[in-house]
Amino acid sequence: MLLKDRCALVTGASGGVGFQIAKRMLEEGATVGAHYNANPAQAEHLLSIVSPGRCRAFRAEFSDPRQVTELWGQFAHWAGSIDILVNCAAEATRPGPTEEPTIETWDRIFRVNVTAPFMLSRAAMVEMRKRRSGRIINVSSIGVKFGGGVGTVHYSASKAALEAVTLSLAKEGAPDNILVNAIRAGVVDTSLHRKIGRPDLSDRVKLIPLKRPAQAQEIAEAVLFLASESSSYITGVVLPVSGGE
């Protein structure tokens, strides 16, 4: 029970990776607030695998900063404290020519992928400072390393910004033992690729040294490591979980 008596907020818990992160944290004894936006059934499934009171689902549309603030207020009222924040929720669009996405799309992706994690991290750090302890883990993308694929500049740029936020907050949180790290996830076998119009990943997978995509559980295990006491001397790190890329 690596996270016994810990309280966590996991955003994007209705997605493939976020769901596995929340599930593993519950299995390791944590109390978990599971954020979702458009898939309540998946998030609420988490409630059925633990005893009442150890998990609650919260809905928020992260492109609206007001809803981010409301989510934090609801979670804080329910949980009373926070030990771990995992920013996994993200927005991606179908790859296309750089001139195709509107400025509104660019702004929306940055609000979801950067502004919302920053707002939640800022609020969480206030509470973590009171106990001089805490973990913040941001889920980034291998696209930062390569600049993304053709037509994904907005997504890759937002994840690069999230990594910059990670490194800055790690310095600020260190005096209070608030450890802030990021997972740079590689290609993960989830429904996201089909959603954005990339059902065939065979050519992309050939570029990965391990010659396969990651499973969501493998990303979750890396997050669990950073959330546990096993990583008590690690902060300001961007950890690649990318099959060797």
Q: In CATH, what number is assigned to the domain containing residue 47?
A: 3.40.50.720
Which of helix, strand or coil describes residue 139? strand
Estimate to the nearest angstrom the gap between the alpha carbon of 222 and the chain centroid.
12
Per-residue pLDDT of 130-147, as tens digits, reads 999 999 999 999 999 988
CA distance 176 to 159: 26
Per-residue pLDDT of 3-28, as tens digits, reads 999 999 999 999 999 999 999 999 99
206 belongs to a structural domain: yes
Per-residue pLDDT of 95-131, as tens digits, reads 777 777 789 999 999 999 999 999 999 999 999 999 9
The domain containing residue 128 runs over which residues? Answer: 7-241
82 belongs to a structural domain: yes
Kindly state the tokens that stand for 168: 């800055």
Which of helix, strand or coil describes residue 203? helix
Q: Which residue numbers are catalytic? A: 155
113 belongs to a structural domain: yes
For residue 48, name the pLDDT band (cuts at 50, 70, 90). Answer: confident
53 dihedral zone (left: phi>0; alpha: psi -120 to 50; beta): left
164 belongs to a structural domain: yes
188 belongs to a structural domain: yes
- Within 10 A of 243 (CB to CB), how many other CB atoms are there? 18
Span 181-191, average pLDDT: 91
Global pTM value: 0.94
- Is 37 in contact with 43 (CB distance < 8 Å)? no
CA distance 95 to 84: 33
* Sign of the alpha-carbon dihedral angle for 165, 232, 49, 9: negative
2 belongs to a structural domain: no
The count of structural domains within the chain is 1
- Is 9 in contact with 120 (CB distance < 8 Å)? yes
- Is 50 in contact with 83 (CB distance < 8 Å)? no
1 belongs to a structural domain: no
55 belongs to a structural domain: yes
Counted residue by residue, the chain has a size of 245
